[in-house]
Structure 1
């Protein structure tokens, strides 16, 4: 039986870019990343930059490689954006009812603060969407929403507690639905964009300020003073996303090899602790 002509394999750098953009870092200047990486290697290995192979250090090659990786990252971001644009309407629809007035699946012009439902979800936490003046200021643009005032949809039950801003943060049903749909690391940024009226996802778009929003969440996760809350949040997501993993704290089967290893390890530790000699200062 004759087989069709096989399609061209994608450039490996584009494939790497798709992976990097979805699982590592979505909004990145890839030529700058590569240049800094080469300089870091030079410092770590104490190797002069001119000793690196020409293809690893020429500006033209760095730009070319960066463009290919960026193409892959942009492509996967576009795929997720297109997919979420329609799917998100199913998740925000009132139970047993249709969205009123209707929102179009293939157009975003009537989303954002232009619509009662998407506007209420995008309303910055701490503001009252039901306040007429607040709503009109958001719709007119008089109240400019940058990336760091986080929208209320990030919170469980879309409820923000000003006295405890960590309560329910990044635990909303909307985020979990989107996670099951695409599973990228930047899902909060994609959901925010899907609810907005902007038609093109861009790192430099000042109207959505997606880069600031993305980095503001990263800054929170990387803040050592918030490590306890971050660990609790990550544990919550591990239990949600991987219910059969060790994070779910499943009981260990009795008489299994793992249980015997742990029992032996505990006995060894207890014996070592009992042999510790305590001396007075």
Structure 2
């Protein structure tokens, strides 16, 4: 099973590496364009990918911030609320839940992995709330039934998006924005295992009713816009072997800073204090 998971991960890393280049080239039209077969021109030295990898508490347009992050004098290795998870890469650091996990890049990545690669082209940024949305289209007969012939065993998620599948897609998109030569669990001191756990806990660990309602509504948004509106209702999300890490840990020293920030804002909201 673990070998199957590793093979699936390798296939996803490769495919998202290539598709991400195409999405970025279409959106930003860089000159020269991003390479499809290599991540070597991405990462912190490229303004487009560096901005998307920048935590929302920092202003990438600030030259001192850019220089500090690139030089390593500003440590962002334990900041997990990255701009690539927000619509247009824009977010309010005083309200980190607003727009979190609604970016077009994340939705495209999810659709490519869990439905079909061709489905990702039907998502664009953004609706009136800034979230990714579906393009209007008429589905062909071949698009109505999504299949993955190279997956021998399929677990149907019954039209519901899970926290783990979103976390998996988040790891894929953020890792492929870097200039890493190959898959690494930790790169530039940034732990993708910790990111994976943080996102799962974002949905599963809130203790107050308002935060639980917010996370539940976000899951409903994903299931509604990514699955129900995007595909035939009988379609399945294929998740066999899409478990990037064998075990989920709800606590991690790496995510303490991000978890504390989220907890503080949730507590302030619960008490009616402006965040």
Normalising by the smaller structure, the TM-score range is 0.5 to 0.7
Distance 2:79 2:19 in 1: 25
Please tell me whether Structure 1 or Structure 2 has the larger radius of gyration of its CA atoms. Answer: 1
Contact 2:41 2:179 in 1 (8 A): yes
The structure where helix makes up a greater share of residues is: 1
Q: Does 1:228 align with 2:213?
A: yes
Gaps of 5+ in 1: 1-68, 249-281
Give the equivalent residue in structure 1 for 2:83. Answer: 152
Change (3 A) 1:132 1:148: closer
Q: CA-to-partner distance for each residue in 1:11-54, whole Å, 9 max, x for gaps?
A: xxxxxxxxxxxxxxxxxxxxxxxxxxxxxxxxxxxxxxxxxxxx
Distance 1:188 1:158 in 2: 14
User: Following TM superposition, by how much is the alpha carbon of 1:149 offset from its aligned partner in structure 2, in angstroms?
Assistant: 2.9
Contact 2:18 2:37 in 1 (8 A): yes
Distance 2:52 2:58 in 1: 11
Q: Does 1:130 align with 2:61?
A: yes
Q: Does 1:207 align with 2:189?
A: yes
Gaps of 5+ in 2: 115-164, 234-275
Q: 2:44 aligns with which of 96, 102, 113?
A: 113
Q: CA-to-partner distance for each residue in 1:174-233, whole Å, 9 max, x for gaps?
A: 111112211254101100001011122233546331111111112211213231111010
User: Following TM superposition, by how much is the alpha carbon of 1:243 offset from its aligned partner in structure 2, in angstroms?
Assistant: 2.1
Contact 1:125 1:150 in 2 (8 A): yes
Distance 2:173 2:198 in 1: 16
Q: CA-to-partner distance for each residue in 1:44-87, whole Å, 9 max, x for gaps?
A: xxxxxxxxxxxxxxxxxxxxxxxxx2211111000000001110
Contact 1:150 1:213 in 2 (8 A): no
Distance 1:237 1:71 in 2: 29
Root mean square deviation, CA, Å: 2.1
Higher relative contact order (CA 8 A, sep 6+): 2
Change (3 A) 1:93 1:163: same
For 2:222, what is the secondary structure of its paired residue? helix
Change (3 A) 1:114 1:204: closer
Give the equivalent residue in structure 1 for 2:105. Answer: 174
User: Following TM superposition, by how much is the alpha carbon of 1:94 offset from its aligned partner in structure 2, in angstroms?
Assistant: 5.0
